[in-house]
Structure 1
């Protein structure tokens, strides 16, 4: 009996002690600060250990991304800038407080961003990031929210410069595909797995409705999985695919229309008289230099790639057309000079032939008149000299006024002698202007037609052909 009385006394003592501890704990969680200190106390919560480590199963992390802006798409560096909100959600049983009195007060608690260093977070990173930082305007843009069932929501605003490998075969008529690649750096799939949030009425990828880009339009976007295996294991991976369509208006106004007008200007030279050498040469050289300068300016804005781009084909064709126009005038000039030499010979033969006819007439009538001082042999010698100098610079007018032809002794007065009419000169060559103008006329028709055909083929090919077919 005394033993039983002592046992009841001891039991009552421990009960009083336990009640005192509970009252003290209830008093200690009257404030959020005290509750959080109790919840993430370092004595029973180790942020270095992932959730479910003791259960030997992976921690599942669901993600969503809200894209605010896409800007500075750079073809030279092949990257782009983006401003996005990156949200991650996972369960941590150690943060479950559903069995406490505080769960009735608040089903979820929003923590201060400084407490992120006291709990475990996934080691997610952006695989294709070149640069990146968190937004700190005006305070660090981070959100940590803990639900009573242990679900943790971690949201942060990031400013990233991401790599985007572009295919520029159809530039500037191209469409590009850029990605946002998210993966785990250290945890393999047996420890950590990423998923897109597929909760009803929740979109894993959201884009700002007011998103605008100066030279692209976001035609479509999609979410994918891209788990990959490396030498250190199999790692989880998520992918955001952005389909960008380039706006063609800028290049149409700044590149295509000006270069097209330059080519048309080079065609105007075909209607200028080929004798106007300064005008024809000026038009040809100016158009060639302008197209070359424009092409150099475009190349400076693009990367040095080994394949041919659509803009390269266009600018090269424009350069070929204007340069061919300059060569056409060189051909016309050569033809004109050769025809001038032929006309010079024909005119010289006519003049000397008339003089020979006069000499023969004087020889037949030597009984009444004196023989001229210039003999037949002298005139024949002068004709041979003229033929030897066909490549010289003597013109028809200089032949007419040549002193050697006109410096002869004046014959004695001829009483009413009627000279025989000179024989008509047969036309052995076309007039100069007919041949030169014929070449210009053919070029004035052929060049524009060829340029129109090139435009039809160019636009049909690059507007309808896929990049994959061009690569083949």
Structure 2
């Protein structure tokens, strides 16, 4: 616990508003309420025991698990960049107020438990969490909170609460993205001239093995003394970071593997003879429609942002490969039609030439029959080249994409080992 700082500014004597007397067994405790912090007020520290319950953009489902009687839920919100993080926190705050009148005979290490309603009648630190959208304290018969007052005029508050904090997200490397949520507990009205915040050992304590099916959850405590500077002064604050690393396995099974198999199925249509137009066209149209449906479902269930993500590159590339197969078959059909027209034209010219032959003239052996000329040959050549070239290009794209995706997402992750994560 920090010692009394020399930066305290002397304040004018506080005005006594009222006195409240509570009967506690054989002792009687008098508490006074003041409009200003005490002259020798010092915040001894904040001890935060955190069990995390996070809901962030995940592919469209809601999952709940029990973690030491703590529900964990993951849910996607409609806000693209600011996502809501909900944490269950056991917050413990200590401060010393020498103006409290303690019952005689109460030693410094002894305490008197009081109803938390007593906080309405004494001065309390104006703690708040930056970018918090609200908090609530669960209750059964009463709120889950306690207040102890020690013999040295130290007030010890402990309470369980759920806090909703907005965090800024970056989904460039989705679905292997790493999100950092900075959570800061600070004073709203009192600067460092009046309050000093510090961690009480162990400071930030996290439950062991917080499971998450889609995220690897880690916490990191920042430097002991954090200060917030603005135009009105410097305010005390305590901060810690929440690291969320998305697991790739879910999207790998739900999006990457099905889309890759659809591309392979579209390549199967290349081995179907071009003459089987209904069967080959049906296979091409089915694969491209299924790919479009998968793309639409993936876009709706993933975070909607205005920039390109890693998963967008993969899905659009797979859609391109499937579309190229369909375009290639359309080109083959066009070339075969042109070959048939050329063959029909040559047959007509041949009939005219035969009708103009002179009598008793031996025309000699008939010329070899031409079945469409070069168009049929070119169509067969294009089909054979596509059967070899497109699978090779898809393999090259896979090697390039996964090398870029895994290396880039790994470089974007901070080195938590250097920051001593909890």
Normalization by structure 2: what TM-score? 0.80
Aligned to 1:256: 256
Q: 2:328: which partner in 1?
A: 328
1:27-85: CA deviation from partner (whole Å, max 9, x where unpaired) = xx9962563433x1xxxx3343313x2x5xx6234112111232222354312211111
CA-to-aligned-CA distance 1:404-430 (integer Å, 9 cap, x gap)? xxxxxxxxxxxxxxx553342386965
Q: How many residues align?
A: 370
Other-structure match for 2:315? 315
- Matching of residues 291-302 of structure 1 within 5 Å: 291-302=291-302
Which consecutive segments of 4 or more residues in structure 1 shift more than 6 A? 467-470
Q: CA deviation at 1:289?
A: 2.0
Determine the C-alpha separation between the residues in 1 that align with 2:94 and 2:137: 18
Distance across 2 between alignment mates of 1:226 and 1:289: 55
- Residue of 133, 136, 140 corresponding to 1:133: 136
**Hey, what does 1:123 align to over in structure 2?**
126
Within 1, Cα distance between the matches of 2:215 and 2:245? 5
Structure 2 residue corresponding to 1:83, chosen from 69, 75, 88: 88
* Whole-angstrom distance in 2 between the partners of 1:133 and 1:443: 63
Report how far residue 181 of structure 1 moved.
1.9
Distance 1:343 1:206, change over 3 A: same
Q: CA deviation at 1:272?
A: 1.4
**SS in structure 2 opposite 1:144?**
strand
**Alignment partners' CA distance in 2, 1:153 and 1:102:** 15
DSSP-derived class of the 1:300 partner: helix
Q: Could you say which residue in structure 2 is the equivalent of 1:156?
A: 159
Partner of 2:37: 50
Match of 1:194 among 182, 192, 197: 197
Residue of structure 2 aligned with 1:35, choices 27, 32, 38 = 27
Cα distance in 2 for partners of 1:69, 1:219 equals 10
Distance 1:305 1:431 in 2: 50
* Corresponding residue number in structure 2 for 1:9: none
Alpha-carbon shift at residue 139 of structure 1 (Å) = 2.4
Call closer, same or farther: CA 1:323–1:36 in 2, change over 3 Å. Answer: farther
How far has the Cα of 1:431 moved from its partner?
6.3
Q: Out of 71, 76, 82, which is 2:54 matched to? A: 71
Structure number with higher helix proportion: 1
1:403 corresponding residue in structure 2: none
- SS of the equivalent of 1:297 reads helix
Unaligned runs of 5+ in 2: 1-20, 58-75, 414-422
Q: CA deviation at 1:349?
A: 4.0
Cα 1:469–1:346 change in 2 (3 A) is farther
The residue correspondences of 1:443-454 to structure 2 (distance < 5 A) are 443-454=386-397
The DSSP-based 3-state class of the residue aligned with 1:137 is: coil
- Aligned counterparts of 2:139 and 2:170: Cα–Cα separation in 1: 35
The verdict on how the C-alpha distance between 1:146 and 1:37 changes in structure 2, with shifts beyond 3 A counting, is closer
Contact 1:60 1:193 in 2 (8 A): yes
C-alpha change, 1:216 and 1:151, in structure 2 (3 Å) is: same
Hey, what does 1:421 align to over in structure 2? 364
Residue 277 (structure 1) shift: 2.1
Structural mapping, 1:201-212, within 5 Å: 202-212=201-211
1:213 aligned residue: 212
| Cα shift at 1:345 | 3.2
The separation in 1 between residues aligned to 2:326 and 2:315, in whole angstroms, is 17
Give the greater-gyration-radius structure (CA).
1
- Aligned pair in 2 of structure 1 residues 91, 454: CA closer, same or farther (>3 Å)? same
CA distance in 2: counterparts of 1:141 and 1:452, whole angstroms: 58
The TM-score with structure 1 as length reference comes to: 0.72
What is the Cα deviation at residue 286 of structure 1?
A: 2.2
- 2: CA distance between counterparts of 1:30 and 1:347? 115
CA–CA separation in structure 2 for the residues paired with 1:68 and 1:336:
68
Q: Identify the residue that residue 59 of structure 1 maps to in structure 2.
A: 42
Within a 5 Å distance, the mapping from 1:62-461 to structure 2 comes to: 62-74=45-57, 76=77, 77=79, 78-95=83-100, 97=102, 100-103=104-107, 107-197=110-200, 202-224=201-223, 225-356=225-356, 359-362=357-360, 420-425=363-368, 430=373, 433-461=376-404
Q: Secondary structure at the residue paired with 2:301?
A: coil
Matched position secondary structure for 1:188:
coil
- TM-superposition CA deviations, 1:285-343 (whole Å, max 9, x none): 22222222222222223444221111111111111111111111111111111222233
Please state whether the residue corresponding to 1:448 is helix, strand or coil.
helix
* Residue in structure 2 matched with residue 379 of structure 1 by the alignment: none
